A and B are shown apart, each in its own frame.
Chain A
């Protein structure tokens, strides 16, 4: 049976297999019914310093592994040692660590007894070797296509191809079982004309079974080139609708941004009604849809930019030094500075007419997207402060509802219903003055 070329990934991919259950958005756990959130998703980790790049291509492909194939343009012919198969969990950890986060606060008792104080904020998110097989580099010309190198890398069979023209390459790929769309011809030709090579990987089922693997582990490639870009055009050749791209860019110096597409940051902190925590992933999906509707798809959103060794709050622990090294951070022995930027783009052929070019900046300012909920205090009122607190709630609820309406576009009536309040922002039977002052002598002999 012919292999299919996995298309969502960065890209280049030529054809593909339908994405079945894309994982939950941004590392949040959601119900299975939500699994189509942000499907057609590609996740790429780019570790970059000066002209050196280590790229990790994570696939959420869940189909038949023998149907999987990956085709990626690369700027140079890769040697065996420049290709690696990484740990499946690494990208997931980076995803969970850098995702937009829901932060939950609990309002304190307005009438505290000694020893109690305002609770510290806590995140709601529980947020959560390559065995050297044979190396056989060879250079062979086959039907106008040069096989620059052929490697067995763990469970993957890897080819580095070049060609004089796209027709030969597409014919070769088709003849060898890769289902490449006809629309890819022009895109492939432009990459070849730029002197790029094609990195082609398929799964060897026998070796995969021998290793007892059940998932597709991410491929990693390391190369040196002044080009700091992602070749996203090939993946659009047969794309059916918009695709989601997540880039985790790790540098020594600072934030990474797009050079040829507009950059926008997500809202840094939004306070919304507490009911949002019940289904944050759905709310966030709507919020991101609205952002894209407002700004169009030719925009790259910065979702997170932070020193990779810390976080505040932490939906999941920062990556350890060993995990950073596994992702390709090679400078740790000389310099512990590691800065990560999480970029998110939704794009289609019309909105992304050229490959995504990136640049490293000197901006080391920490940035994160936090959606904050405050759980109201509902205890017994024991002092005048309780009345003050209760009287402050309607205006806060109104502010939070307005913020949610702005974030999602939902009508206020719908939000009020979900909050369980009326047009005066009061819950049924709620009293603004629950504490009644008693006579001075009532507690005198108690």
Chain B
């Protein structure tokens, strides 16, 4: 059917293509419009390192969620490029070598820090690679930092980032985690302002930060590291927002969103067991599982593939 074919064709576009376009545009804007203090050599080194790391991992046959035990690990350059671009947007370092290390750690965390999937279908990496690299480097005391206000506080820019990002999350049909996070984070910020008696302009100022939009649409939305079910993702988003509020307003530390995302990611396997769902595949960016589908999968009876065509059978 024509409608079905066009839908299939539309769905065939990898959401990562949108994300690469969006992140690249943001990086160019940041460098040449917002005055990011990032040497171009750092950008080149980061992207090269990410791609090289991914290629090396593929050559060595390191595990991939996509690869079966008998097939050769594919060179997923899109994911590596996204990790590299994200690091360029977020991380700052005095020397390019730290950016290269961050890229390798990002890629390495994807292959090394894995847990079995709740549905038994292979393994799943725990940390969003970019988030994992940043947190691990900060924990190790590396001389790196983030500039969370580099975008300024322009609602227009935030909306532009959101617009770009929405393409990505809608293509991967995981907009629920983004929306849930934005609602939960707004609740935390406005709730805290109400608690201490601040004027509403203060939490509004915090929400308008371009970095929040970037985080919501391009990091927490990572479909590979968020819970498999919609309910799980919403719970996850709320957990991240609460954790970030704790770091920022109780511990008075910076980068609360990143610390919280890393910590909450450790609970994703539990959430997947508690609220099971269908694993994500970039080739079939569906929304996640229905309970009925999961039951079929667990019983060993293949669930009929939908138009998305990506339901994995075990």
Q: Which residues of A contact B (CB under 8 A)?
A: 186, 189-190, 193-194, 225-228, 254, 257-265, 298-299, 350, 353-354, 357, 359, 361-365
**Listed A/B pairs (16) with beta-carbon separation below 8 Å:** A194-B196, A228-B252, A254-B94, A257-B147, A258-B149, A259-B149, A261-B153, A262-B34, A262-B149, A262-B151, A263-B150, A298-B153, A354-B198, A354-B205, A362-B144, A363-B145
* Chain A residues positioned under 8 Å from B32 (CB to CB): none
Cα separation A190 to B196 with both chains bound (whole Å)? 5
Whether the Cβ atoms of A264 and B35 lie closer than 8 Å is yes
Whether the Cβ atoms of A260 and B205 lie closer than 8 Å is yes
Whether the Cβ atoms of B204 and A353 lie closer than 8 Å is yes
A68, chain B: closest CB distance, angstroms: 28
5 shortest A-B CB distances, which residue pairs?
A362-B143, A353-B201, A262-B152, A193-B196, A361-B145
* Chain B residues positioned under 8 Å from A262 (CB to CB): 34, 149-153
Whether the Cβ atoms of A353 and B205 lie closer than 8 Å is yes
* Chain B residues positioned under 8 Å from A365 (CB to CB): 94
Q: In the complex, which residues 173-202 of chain B have their Cβ closer than 8 Å to any Cβ of chain A?
A: 195-199, 201-202
Cα separation A92 to B147 with both chains bound (whole Å)? 30
B295 near A: Cβ within 8 Å?
A: no
**Which chain B residue lies CB-closest to A364?**
B94
**Which chain B residue lies CB-closest to A188?**
B197
**Which chain B residue lies CB-closest to A195?**
B196
Whether the Cβ atoms of B149 and A263 lie closer than 8 Å is yes
B148 near A: Cβ within 8 Å?
A: yes
Q: Which residues of B contact A (CB under 8 A)?
A: 34-35, 37, 92-94, 142-145, 147-153, 195-199, 201-202, 204-206, 209, 251-254
Cα separation A364 to B93 with both chains bound (whole Å)? 10
* Chain A residues positioned under 8 Å from B199 (CB to CB): 186, 353
| Residue with the highest number of chain A CB atoms closer than 10 Å, among B34, B147, B209 | B147
Whether the Cβ atoms of A361 and B35 lie closer than 8 Å is no
B133, chain A: closest CB distance, angstroms: 16
A352, chain B: closest CB distance, angstroms: 9
Whether the Cβ atoms of A265 and B198 lie closer than 8 Å is no
* Chain B residues positioned under 8 Å from A194 (CB to CB): 196
Q: Which among B145, B201, B251 is the interface contact of A226 at CB below 8 angstroms? A: B251
Cα separation A194 to B249 with both chains bound (whole Å)? 9
B286, chain A: closest CB distance, angstroms: 38
| Residue with the highest number of chain B CB atoms closer than 10 Å, among A189, A226, A265, A353 | A353
Cα separation A256 to B197 with both chains bound (whole Å)? 29
Cα separation A264 to B142 with both chains bound (whole Å)? 24
* Chain A residues positioned under 8 Å from B153 (CB to CB): 261-262, 298
* Chain B residues positioned under 8 Å from A189 (CB to CB): 197
Cα separation A287 to B74 with both chains bound (whole Å)? 55
Given A354-B205, A354-B206, A363-B92, A226-B252 contact (CB < 8 Å): yes
Cα separation A194 to B199 with both chains bound (whole Å)? 14
Cα separation A350 to B94 with both chains bound (whole Å)? 34
* Chain A residues positioned under 8 Å from B251 (CB to CB): 226
Given A193-B196, A362-B143, A364-B94, A354-B202 contact (CB < 8 Å): yes
* Chain A residues positioned under 8 Å from B150 (CB to CB): 262-263
